[in-house]
């Protein structure tokens, strides 16, 4: 089992723009294989600058998609649906330019859209999401990229909370360029078994986020890491595992992180990497 281990610079700063590419030197020095760069706005990252910075530091790059209320495939309004696909088109171009083979994130609906709606409305929104994802899947195939859909916990979305729901959505979309992205933080809240969720995702699993139940360093809390590792080994997973955490200095309100999760953000990165290297060897 060969799994690359990466980190998202949100651990240190937000937004991750051209000026933040200096963090790649730190990411390499700590020992990571991958820098996962979140694309909050298409103008934030210049493809040539990103490609050069990754090459300079000997890192692989992954572009991670960010979906706010203006990027909503489920909206009653056509404008957010169009904006979502326009954003995905730009993100896929960046993926191809920098060699990112996956575009992870909850593309099916924006983060923070959580309401109790009727079954009829839920069906309408599900079908809109499927149609939009098929359009995005065609674009992804053209760029040689897999869109990896991430189930989020109940406090962040009402559409897809579990791997089983995500499998159903991916099956409804029915495109090889649309797969699954699992995140241990969300799984720890929503799944009965992290191991079972990984097994259910199976060959559709295209990306994994690894952080603790409190968003701290992997290995420092309650997540069933042995179950994760066992599941990944049994499905023959050869994708990547990325630490996604956040700094309260820049992104507290969006992520509800009100206190430090480690002595320093560098400690969070180092401790998490050491743990994952041992776990996923």
- Structure confidence at residue 247 as a pLDDT band (50, 70, 90): confident
Q: Is the pLDDT of residue 196 over 90?
A: yes
What mean pLDDT do residues 211-236 have?
Answer: 97
Q: Is the pLDDT of residue 258 over 70?
A: yes
Q: How many independent structural domains does the chain possess?
A: 1
Phi-psi region of 138 (alpha: psi -120 to 50; beta: other; left: phi over 0): alpha
Does this model's pTM top 0.85? My answer is: yes
Annotation marks residue 36 as catalytic: no
Q: Is the pLDDT of residue 1 over 60?
A: no
- Structure confidence at residue 252 as a pLDDT band (50, 70, 90): low
For residue 77, give the DSSP letter. S
In CATH, what number is assigned to the domain containing residue 89? 3.20.20.150
Pairing, β 102-105 against β 60-65: unpaired
Active-site residue identified among 83, 125, 150, 156: 150
DSSP H/E element including 102: strand 102-105
pLDDT digits over 161-193, tens only?
A: 999 999 999 999 999 999 999 999 999 999 999
Q: How far is CA 104 from CA 122, 128, 226, 231, 248, in A?
A: 23, 19, 23, 20, 23
For residue 257, what pLDDT is reported? 86
Annotation marks residue 244 as catalytic: yes
Active-site residue identified among 36, 190, 191, 244: 244
Domain that residue 90 falls in:
4-279
For residue 124, what pLDDT is reported? 98
Bridge partners for 180 per DSSP: 149, 205
Bridge partners for 240 per DSSP: 4
- Structure confidence at residue 254 as a pLDDT band (50, 70, 90): confident
- Structure confidence at residue 37 as a pLDDT band (50, 70, 90): very high
For residue 155, what pLDDT is reported? 96
């Amino acid at each position: 089992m060969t799994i690359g281990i990466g980190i998202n610079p949100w651990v240190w700063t937000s937004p991750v723009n051209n000026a933040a590419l200096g963090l790649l030197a730190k990411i390499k020095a700590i020992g990571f294989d991958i820098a996962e760069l979140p694309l909050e706005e298409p103008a934030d990252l210049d493809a040539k600058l990103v490609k050069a910075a990754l090459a300079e530091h000997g890192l692989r790059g992954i572009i991670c998609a960010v979906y706010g209320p203006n990027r909503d495939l489920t909206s009653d309004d056509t404008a957010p649906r169009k904006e979502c696909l326009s954003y995905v088109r730009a993100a896929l171009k960046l993926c191809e330019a920098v060699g990112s083979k996956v575009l992870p994130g909850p593309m099916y609906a924006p983060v923070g859209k959580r309401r109790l709606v009727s079954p009829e409305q839920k069906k309408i929104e599900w079908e809109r999401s499927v149609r939009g994802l098929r359009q995005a899947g065609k674009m992804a195939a053209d760029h040689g990229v897999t869109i990896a859909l991430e189930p989020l916990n109940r406090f962040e979305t009402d559409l897809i909370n579990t791997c089983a729901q995500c499998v159903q959505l991916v099956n409804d979309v029915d495109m090889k360029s649309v797969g699954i992205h699992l995140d241990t933080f969300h799984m720890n809240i929503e799944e009965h078994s992290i191991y079972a969720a990984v097994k259910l995702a199976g060959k559709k699993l295209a990306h994994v986020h690894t952080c603790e139940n409190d968003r701290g360093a992997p290995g420092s809390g309650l997540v069933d890491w042995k179950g994760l590792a066992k599941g990944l080994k049994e499905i023959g997973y050869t994708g990547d595992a990325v630490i996604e955490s956040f700094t309260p200095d820049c992104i507290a309100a969006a992520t509800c992180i009100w206190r430090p999760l480690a002595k320093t953000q560098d400690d969070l990165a180092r401790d998490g990497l050491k743990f994952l290297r041992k776990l996923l060897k």
